[in-house]
Structure 1
Amino acid sequence: MVQYATDSSIAPTRPQFRRWVKAALMQEAEIVLRLVDEAEGRELNQQFRGKDYATNVLTFVYDEMQPLTGDIVLCAPVVSQEAQQQHKDLLAHYAHLTVHGILHLQGYDHIEDADAAEMEQLETRILAALGYADPYSEAAASAVAAQ
């Protein structure tokens, strides 16, 4: 299910989100993907991570059994701002963050360097299959470093 809880006029469609989710999903799952505004994104990040700012994507796993259940929250203003700052296509950035959240839902993380490398390679492969450029390419890294 996709929920739009934001005033953002530029957001991916439900079919786009479904395509991205299916590309990254390796098991049966029941997922709610929710687009939020900055206030809700900040509130959720504060409540669940103790961070007083809105972040791009949050993943909540409720049950790891079959089917896997969880929520993915994307903060539309943060995603849009990041895409602009990093000189990325907005839909490509949404695709990347959706894939990223789906991988988190399935137990992938990027705390340790080796895990981060594995997750990034998987994201890159999935995004390439969807027709998107490597989000970790030199151009992306240069844009991030310039922030």
Structure 2
Amino acid sequence: MAKTKSAGVVLTVTARVGKPLANGLRLSLLRAVEMLPHAPAELSVALVGDAEMSGLHEQFMGITGPTDVLSFELDHDARGRVTSGEIVVCVPEARRQARSLGHPLTDELLLYALHGVLHLSGYDDKTDSAYRRMHRTEDRILTQLGVGKVFSRGSTRQRPKPRLGKLSIHKSRGTV
């Protein structure tokens, strides 16, 4: 397991990705976080495999199987804004989607990590309008980073049907 830290973003890699990819993701995510007015001051991003993501998905959301990204609120300020959070990204899911949509794995991983940051920054995707707003914000930030629109590149992507996970009493709260 490799860890790198810079300006409040810690990246933990337990899945198979190369060091250049992990470092590039960390640097791009740092730049993205700087573009958000209310991003958490401390972020931990874990790149994991299907088995680990499936376990977390079941434990915190009550849903079997892997998902693309989960985010966990760890600490809040007096106004209730998230000051510390963890994002878990499933590398094999990103690899499958990137291959299916014909774009680089790095773009898909960055999309997932940014999606988690946006959840921790107060965005949600529970309604159609919130879903569109969140994904427009992702594409805007990724374009500013020079990556381009990643979410809307995948024209086959659709808003998933609402699903209810089991409730967990835990310091962290999972968000899909």
- Matched AA of 1:9: V
Q: Which residue identity does 2:26 align to in structure 1?
A: F
| Matching of residues 33-72 of structure 1 within 5 Å | 33-65=45-77, 68-72=83-87
Structure 1 segments unaligned to the other structure (5+ residues): none
Counterpart mapping for 1:1-147 below 5 A: 1-6=10-15, 8-10=16-18, 12-24=21-33, 25-27=36-38, 28-65=40-77, 68-137=83-152, 139-142=153-156, 144=157
Is the 8 Å Cα contact of residues 72 and 86 (structure 2) preserved in structure 1?
yes
1:59–1:101 contact (8 Å) kept in structure 2: yes
Give the whole-Å Cα distance in 2 for the aligned partners of 1:14 and 1:46. Answer: 29
Number of aligned residues: 142
Q: Deviation of residue 88 (structure 1)?
A: 1.8
Runs of 4+ in structure 1 over 4 Å off: none
- Which residue matches 2:171? none
Using structure 1 for the length normalisation, give the TM-score.
0.86
Distance 1:9 1:20, change over 3 A: closer
Unaligned runs of 5+ in 2: 1-9, 159-176
> Take 1:62 and 1:96, find their aligned partners in 2: how far apart are those partners?
21
CA distance in 1 between counterparts of 2:151 and 2:17 reads 27
What is the CA–CA distance in structure 2 between the aligned matches of 1:81 and 1:16, rounded to whole Å? 18
Q: Give 1 or 2: higher helix fraction.
A: 1
Q: Look up the SS of the partner of 1:140 in the other structure.
A: coil
**What is the distance in 2 between the residues matched to 1:115 and 1:20?**
22
Instruction: Let me know the Cα RMSD of the aligned residues.
Output: 2.0
For residues 15 and 85 of structure 1, the distance between their equivalents in structure 2, rounded to whole angstroms, comes to 22
Normalised to the residue count of structure 2, the TM-score between the two structures is 0.73
State percent identity of aligned pairs: 29
User: CA–CA distance in 2 between the matches of 1:89 and 1:63?
Assistant: 33
